[in-house]
């Protein structure tokens, strides 16, 4: 087992534990998609806002599911990432 395999196994185990703690299915956690979104926010806007963006996505998913509406994660991630271009980054650009 490589270091990467061991790390990903540790992550998967933690995701299972975290999901069990709040009563959701681990399969509903899109780790690659979350990493893409948080990377876009961290590098395109502000690093501290990356977890906030992931939280916003999660809240939006929960609201849509509670309303029985379809969830298109990719479209939602693009919509959130699309707000970055309208914000100055920490350098004022």
pTM for the model? 0.82
Q: How far apart are CA 76 and CA 61, in angstroms?
A: 9
pLDDT 10s digits, 25-81: 999 999 999 999 999 999 999 999 999 999 999 999 999 999 999 999 999 999 999
Q: CB neighbours of 38 closer than 8 A, spacing ≥ 6?
A: 50, 51, 53, 54
Backbone region of residue 23 per phi and psi (left: phi > 0; alpha: psi in -120 to 50; beta: other values): left
């Amino acid at each position: 087992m490589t270091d990467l395999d061991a790390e990903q196994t540790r992550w998967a185990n933690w995701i299972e534990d975290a999901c069990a703690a709040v009563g959701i299915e681990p399969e509903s956690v899109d780790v690659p998609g979350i990493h893409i979104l948080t990377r876009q926010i961290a590098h395109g806007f502000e690093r501290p806002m990356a977890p906030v963006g992931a939280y916003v996505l999660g809240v939006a998913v929960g609201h849509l599911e509670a309303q029985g509406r379809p969830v298109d994660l990719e479209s939602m991630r693009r919509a959130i990432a699309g707000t970055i271009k309208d914000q100055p980054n920490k350098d004022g650009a």
